[in-house]
Amino acid sequence: MTQRRGTVVVTGVGRVRGIGAGIARGLAEDGWDLVLSHWTPYDDRLGLERGRDDPAEIVAQCRAIGSRVHTVEVDLAEPDAPAELVAAATAIGDVRGLVMAHCESVASSTLDTTLESWDRHFAVNARAVWLLIKAVAELLPEQPTTDVRARIVALTSDHTGHNLPYGASKGALDRIVVAAGVELGARGVRANVINPGPIDTGWMTDEIRTAGIARTPAGRLGTPSDTADLVRFLMSDAGGWINGQLLYSNGGFRTHS
């Protein structure tokens, strides 16, 4: 049986096809216990493929692997929600990791983005990231250490044109996480950002899928497992020397001209 390593909070785990679900399954295989968050109204609004109760199915999959798993439904746009989520996790076990796979993503452009949409994107994609990191860091001793006490990973994106509030708020996310790696490194925090490139979790049209494959030198689109593999490395002892980085795991998509 895999030795238990502590508890990881993973956000954005609402659909079986989602990246968050792939990450949760991978961390369960590595011996982590999990607190998974989702927000059903967001998944309802997107209308992407899912079953009758995807959060429950993901929990069942992770428990079958051997992980202790709890799920929390929470709207991370609410200012108190990040602290409440981390507090719920501490009641279950020693929080040693945070993986932020949640997002607000509603496409709009410079001329048609509303103030409400702009504010919600930044509340979910930027402010909640800061507050989640803050809540986890406040659990750690203040004494400096060279040991790794907590591992933090967030997912980002390069998509900006005609997806302005999403792209702008993801840019803010990048800086928040990198700052955490710098400011909290002496406390034992390792914080990094992953850009997974285009991954078809049910949102792609045939046209987008074909274009994505054509622009990826590896010859295929990424999968949730591809992203989970890098998250699992960063959460492992072998990944403890990586800190404050924006990492691309995309089959060469970004570098292809």
The percentage of the chain sitting over the pLDDT mark of 90, rounded to a whole number, equals 80
pLDDT digits (tens, 9 = 90+) for 126-185: 999 999 999 999 999 999 999 999 999 999 998 888 999 999 999 999 999 999 999 999
Answer whether residue 253 is part of any domain.
no
Chain Cα centroid distance, residue 79: 18
Between CA 18 and CA 37 the distance in angstroms is: 13
Residues 6+ apart with CB under 8 A from 52: none
pTM: 0.95
Answer whether residue 23 is part of any domain.
yes
Mean per-residue pLDDT, 11-38: 97
| Domain, as residue range, for 107 | 7-248
Q: What is the pLDDT of residue 257?
A: 39
Q: What is the CATH number of the domain that holds 155?
A: 3.40.50.720
Answer whether residue 257 is part of any domain.
no
Q: What would the two tokens of residue 43 be?
A: 């998944």
pLDDT confidence tier of residue 6, bands split at 50, 70 and 90: very high
Element (H, E) at 153: strand 150-155
Answer whether residue 1 is part of any domain.
no
Domain count, the chain: 1
